[in-house]
Amino acid sequence: MNTTGSMGRYGVIALAMAMAATTQAAAAKMSTPSDAKLIASAERAAPMAVAKDATIVAMDAGGKMRTLREGHNGWTCMPDSPATPGPDPMCMDKNAFEWAGAWMGHKPPASSKVGFMYMLEGGTDASNTDPYATKPAAGNHWIKTGAHVMIVGADQGFYDLYPKGADPNTHAPYVMWAGTPYQHLMVPIK
């Protein structure tokens, strides 16, 4: 007996695929905040005097950068990353934005191009030693830092002034991802 009835085997498979695609589209739609929400999230990263005239960019579902709003003060802000537990929007000056692009693109950052970044909503990072960890490893936990600013692209001698452990005290300045091309100083401000 043909258990798939009159549709036949391939009809059932096609139907199942169509249903899966519809479910995925619905899930994507539900989890994608509006541009207004993304912009508001991005603007919370810095003082409003900086954020209100900044370019706002966001990563789309396919990992491509999309410009939500063109700015004119040299700053670029990104909304919270949904991949981490807490809110972590950021505002970057030009050098810091280039640095972040190098990190995300797995490329070497420019040397001695010091950049500055605001993260006034704080941030959570999966590892203080691995720039590409996406979740904490066994016996590890999310590195949670409150409102802070970051200094990126400085020389080694600068980072050598600060602690570099895997489990830093996040209430005082410390180096994240020490010894990698993406080491940077995390500076809590509260």
Note the residues at the interface with Cu ion (CB under 5 A): 119, 123, 150
What is the closest distance, in whole angstroms, from the C-beta atom of residue 84 to Cu ion in the complex? Answer: 11
- 185 with 159: CB under 8 angstroms? yes
Q: Which is nearer to Cu ion, 35 or 130 (CB)?
A: 130
Tell me how far, at minimum, the Cβ of 35 lies from Cu ion, in Å.
24
Minimal distance in Å, beta carbon 42 to Cu ion?
14
Q: Shortest CA distance to 177 belongs to which of 153, 188, 190, 82?
A: 153
Q: How far is the CB of 15 from Cu ion (least distance, A)?
A: 47
Running DSSP on this structure, what letter comes out for residue 166?
A: S
* Residue showing the smallest CB distance to Cu ion in the complex: 119
C-beta of 32 vs 81, nearer to Cu ion: 81
C-beta of 35 vs 146, nearer to Cu ion: 146
* CB 90, min distance to Cu ion, A: 6
For residue 112, CA distances in Å to 95, 102, 105, 158 come to 10, 14, 19, 11
Cα distances (Å, whole numbers) of residue 137 to 9, 130, 168: 43, 10, 16
Sign of the C-alpha dihedral computed for residues 172, 165, 130 and 141 taken in this order = negative
Q: Judged by CB, which is closer to Cu ion: 32, or 59?
A: 59
CB of 120 or CB of 150, closer to Cu ion: 150
Nearest to 176 by CA among 190, 189, 154: 154
